[in-house]
Amino acid sequence: MGEISETSRFQGRVVKILSDKRGGFILPDDKSDNLYFIASQVENEKIETLKPGDPVTFTVGKGKEGKVVFANKVKLVSAEKTNKDCTTETRFHGHVKKIFINRQSGYITLEGSTQDLYFIAKQVEKNKLETLKVGDAVTFTIGESEDGRRFANRIQLINFDQIEQNDTPAELNPTPITCDELKNQIIEQFKRIVHTTSSSEFEDLTFLLLKNLGIHYLYQYDKRNQAGRADGFFIIGNLAVMYDCTLREGFEEYKKDQIENYINKLEQAQLTFNLRSSDGVQKKKTLRIDGKSKQVWIITLGQTREISDYGNIKVKEVSVNHLIWLLQERLNRDVIEEDDLALNLLSRIEKVIPA
């Protein structure tokens, strides 16, 4: 967190409640070290009301050596406040990817990632939306809506004409990168999935991981109309998979009815999806799945294993760590074809995969 005031308020998420309920840990939104808090520092609520993943604001306290180690005056962020403006003070860099003038909105790509963040015109500071164009470099803070989706806030256009050549930040003149370095960075970034505490973020990151595996027929359900439905569906080769993501341990009883619903859908000859494109337009997509090998995947932070076999449909728990391992294998291969991925790489889900 650097040099900060102990009276400033910050935002983060509860990552752990200690078993005796007398304290816990909070991960700040800037992804710095976890901060410890005690029950007496929870304001307006009892510690029993907090659970991992809850958004909170807090001040900070320092330990004996002057390092920030404590979260004080912890307040739970209500859904109403989160939906209006739940944001950190940390500013990020990115560039404008899309602009929808008629909708007074657009998307910004976060620097160093493939993640796109939605924004609306009123969040563009000092400049009107009409002054922005695709490709413009911007800085912004990040907020999170009630359903867990992150968006860009307080957007400022970077005016390179006002930057003296000698004052150009080092990050604007990056050093070249080798192919091996880039592959390692990609894998290391995906490995951070296991540290997320947001179910919505876990779903989005898993979808991105599957895309990077090279699965072309891949669909993510619209989260606004997702109650009781799977998170997504894909076809690769002769394999059709309906998948659901969860951070919950011991999910089998909790998801029993949902799994049976997924199986019933896969037993049909075709599936119809209500999909939402990046510009917000709703559309329907129908795919024939008769004659294909069918599976239900529950993607978790746990282990890969077969849960049950319903005739011609298998239900499996699939570790996100194993999917990351498959991506590493794919990046290191010289020849990649869809049949190769379907028959060889994904078939390793059936085997013991090294950690």
pLDDT in tens, 115-158: 788 898 888 887 678 888 898 888 888 887 765 677 888 898 87
User: How far is residue 151's CA from residue 86's CA, in Å, rounded to a whole number?
Assistant: 10
Confidence label for 84 from pLDDT (cuts 50, 70 and 90):
very low
Q: Range with the lowest mean pLDDT among 82-86, 230-234, 329-333?
A: 82-86
Mean predicted confidence (pLDDT) in 31-60? 83
* Closest among 184, 4, 185 to 112, alpha carbons compared: 185
CATH of 92-172, one of 3.30.565.10, 1.20.1260.10, 2.40.50.140, 3.30.70.270: 2.40.50.140
Domains 10-77 and 180-350 belong to one CATH topology: no
> What residues pair up with 28 in beta bridges, in sequence order?
12
Cβ atoms of 12 and 56 closer than 8 Å = yes
Residue 297: pLDDT above 90?
A: yes
Half-sphere exposure of 320 (CA within 13 A, CB side): 25
Provide the edge-to-edge strand list for the sheet that holds 293-300: 217-220, 232-236, 239-245, 293-300, 313-319, 305-310
Whole-model pTM: value is: 0.51
- Whether domain 180-350 has CATH 3.40.50.10860: no
Residue 273: pLDDT above 80?
A: no
Residue 76: pLDDT above 50?
A: yes
Residue 266: pLDDT above 70?
A: yes
Domain boundaries, the chain: 10-77, 92-172, 180-350
Residue 353: pLDDT above 60?
A: no
Q: 10-77: what fold?
A: OB fold (Dihydrolipoamide Acetyltransferase, E2P) (2.40.50)
At 11-41, the pLDDT tens digits run: 888 888 886 768 889 988 776 788 989 988 8
